[in-house]
Amino acid sequence: MTVAPAVRTRITSLFGCRYPILLPGMSWISSPTLVAAVSNAGGIGILATGPLNAAETRDAIRRIRSLTDEPFGVGLTLLMPGSRENVEVAIEERVPIVNVSLGRADGFSDRVRDYGGRILATVTNARHAEAAIESGADALMLTGHEAAAHGGDVTSMVLIPTMSRRFPNVPIVAAGGFADGRGLAAAIALGADGVAMGSRFAVTRESPLAEGTKGAVSSPNNAEGDTLYGKNFDGIPARVLRTETSSRLMRRPASFPSVVYRAFGAATKMGIPLYKIIPGLLTQWDKMYTIAQFGAATEYLMKATVEGDHEGGVQFIGQCQGLIDDIPTVDDLVQRTMHEAADASLLSFATFSECERNDASRSAV
């Protein structure tokens, strides 16, 4: 396969990459090795820092830099305990792209820009997009309903053109339902400047996702409809792989005492001191159960993602699993995606050119 030529969009220009393809930050999946592989392949890899403390985040960033000279990013879920410490690490390490979610970049977006970094905000609707732009976001990652984990209520087919029309001067990365070149070409046509392919990159050779989970996702026995979407899993509407465990959790949420107990247990395993968690719970009474659920879900996620245990765990996955039927290398996937996108664009051009010729012929008769 010949190397696909570099593509120029507002995202490739803003981030300094060859191709408008991103690996989003996925806990226990977007590791230094996978991040570097995506960046080396011409895209942008984003490190997941949700499960990491400040020291681990710093080590991971430096590990990425030992593996690539290309631009990369860090994902910061601002709802998570310890996220502000990870923000400081990202700034101190001068990470090129800081991707924030479930929170605003107020107070540090200017500091990121001071060293030449960029802020990418992950959002699901116009209200959150406006808040992100006000807080200093340079670009938006719009997460549609099809996405793994915390997608919005609106599908990418509607979300992308709506938001691109509403925010015409802001570069957009489309996320949710994208796993190949046809999706990339469609996203560009809808008004996006690039795509994020989380579920697709999760099922590559360089991905640390449990091999059993890779096999389950890429199996012909799993299709686009074999996911569940609801808020009973981690307190925020999320999409997961359909299993007996996820079906049970989605039907009946755990009790508050059980959720708090598991959340504290997860924090202990991750090395997060309880004094960082308790104040957040006590000062956000209206969100206490949701925050506790978010933390408690860690146990289930780790079992499926790291151990491949789907009887005791739950796996975030997008509807695009119906498009995943192999486990390629990252470089092969990126090249294949770019060639498919070029072919899809040419086909669309040829189709509409033929329409114009037919119209001209009829007019001449």
List of residues 6+ apart from 277 with CB closer than 8 A = 81, 263, 264, 267, 295
Instruction: Give residue 63's Cα distance to chain centre.
Output: 21
Q: Which of 197-201, 311-315, 343-347, 360-364 has the highest mean pLDDT?
A: 197-201
CB 258 within 8 A of CB 265: no
What are the start and end residues of each CATH 3.20.20.70 domain in the chain?
Answer: 10-209+325-349
Rounded to 5°, angle at Cα 57 from 34 and 22: 35
Q: In the prediction, which pLDDT does 300 show?
A: 81
The string of pLDDT tens digits covering residues 32-90 is: 999 999 999 999 999 999 989 999 999 999 999 999 999 999 999 998 878 999 999 99
Q: Can you tell me the mean pLDDT for 102-120?
A: 95
> Does domain 10-209+325-349 correspond to CATH entry 3.20.20.140?
no
Residue 104 CA to residue 87 CA, distance in Å, equals: 12
Residue 11 CA to residue 14 CA, distance in Å, equals: 5
Residue 111 tokens, joined: 């500091």
Q: Is the pLDDT of residue 186 over 60?
A: yes
Indicate the pTM of the whole model: 0.88
The string of pLDDT tens digits covering residues 188-222 is: 999 999 999 999 999 999 999 999 999 989 988 87
**SS3 category, 314:** coil
Q: In angstroms, what CA-CA distances link 4 with 37, 144, 328, 338, 342?
A: 17, 28, 17, 6, 9
Where is 113: in which H helix or E strand?
Answer: helix 109-114
Q: In the prediction, which pLDDT does 286 show?
A: 46
The string of pLDDT tens digits covering residues 227-240 is: 999 887 877 789 99
Q: In angstroms, what CA-CA distances link 7 with 40, 43, 46, 138, 349?
A: 15, 11, 20, 20, 17
Q: Is the pLDDT of residue 273 over 70?
A: no
